[in-house]
Chains A and B, each alone.
Chain A
């Protein structure tokens, strides 16, 4: 299946590796975590903390909180506001944040 989002061919930024639920993903330097997830081609839908329904990043500018994700062991981070870094461990959040995360 063709991913809904992909990097444009003219994008010459260097790639870097992040991990999504342990799986290696090639992101571009300067991507936000949310952009990298959308371009990954993986199923990156989280479950809403309120109703459990699947959600994806939406506003991409820090307002809607639909991109909440666990980054390097810290839950409820706004993926659209955080640039990717090499080796970053991203976990898709299932429902509410956990107390220790």
Chain B
């Protein structure tokens, strides 16, 4: 059977585009099978933090993976700029998680202690800062702010431009991008390789990478993989543009390179992304104006909601199939933060055929109900 494509990447969001870009950059013949414009796309709804602090409690390798992602982001941003001319405005001034009460401060302090107790990455640098120290970095904070945690690895980026840059780069590398190719069925072939049945026709490829976000849950079992997902809805508020006043991203509030102020981050079980709910945005806005009372005067220009890609335990899943060799799955919540790792670290391993090294810490074998068909990547290397 002749195969035009080395790899079919299922999903053209930030995660799929990052992996596909990384593969195409290595000379692989890549086809990206994407949904249409109405896809529920976290890549267009996200908050655009490149965020490290607090991630990985319960799975230390995730904290290390996130720190490394932050370290690799400048390399990714520079590569995208060089290739496409697009500046994705990656900035890493360090970030704060603001606490608005003593109880929040205690909870944060406790989280940090736990992070260090389980074994934090080298140069983790996560620390609590008191109000007087915080005022030096954020002179506009209001009286309700009692303190914050700070990580030097935290930053933010223009995620929409990053998304565009990956796709511009894919085109430049000669990758085949197919919109409206919803993948229905994937058939591993007896002699190796895969046939993918899509709404746009039949596609053949030697390898397949599932990067379909929450859709991975349905596709993974077709190739012996496992992706238990638990999506949530988040809402975002955006204000009109103002002159730069906030030089650090906060966990729930940041000023974009274009001057707008974005306010997040809510969590609901509802999975309808066509509506926003005022009871939720009210709380978000109230916390924002307690953090910076001057925000009170700004006009809100838009609110939206989006569906988070979220695995059942919140940690990434990277796996390869033992029963269908050449099938990989990648899903995680942090498609923006981890874009550097997906493009620069994961893609070369997929090309080489094995997910050894750091990604092998994120196998879905950690779930009690995982199937036997997940390759033990440690053993494979």
A98 at the interface (CB under 8 A from B): yes
Q: In the complex, how many residues of chain B place their beta carbon closer than 8 angstroms to a beta carbon of chain A?
A: 14
* A99 near B241: Cβ-Cβ < 8 Å: no
Which residues 79-101 of A have a CB within 8 angstroms of B? 95-101
Count CB-based A-B contacts (< 8 Å).
32
B367 at the interface (CB under 8 A from A): no
* B299 near A95: Cβ-Cβ < 8 Å: no
A26 at the interface (CB under 8 A from B): no
A74 at the interface (CB under 8 A from B): yes
Return chain B residues, CB-CB under 8 Å to A96: 241-243, 259
B297 at the interface (CB under 8 A from A): yes
A49 at the interface (CB under 8 A from B): yes
In the assembled complex, the CB of A70 is this many whole angstroms from the nearest CB of chain B, namely 11
CB-nearest residue of chain B to A68: B240
- Interface size class of chain A, counting residues whose CB lies under 8 Å from the partner chain: 10 to 19
In the assembled complex, the CB of B140 is this many whole angstroms from the nearest CB of chain A, namely 7
Q: Could you tell me the distance between the alpha carbons of A5 and B258 in the complex, rounded to whole angstroms?
A: 34
* A95 near B297: Cβ-Cβ < 8 Å: no
CB-nearest residue of chain A to B299: A76
B294 at the interface (CB under 8 A from A): yes
Q: Which of A49, A98, A99 gathers most chain B CB within 10 Å?
A: A99
CB-nearest residue of chain A to B292: A99
Return chain A residues, CB-CB under 8 Å to B140: 99
Interface residues, chain A, with chain B CB atoms under 8 Å away: 49-50, 74, 76, 95-101
Known: A98-B242, A100-B294. 9 other contacts (CB 8 A): A49-B259, A96-B242, A97-B242, A98-B245, A99-B140, A99-B242, A99-B245, A99-B292, A100-B297
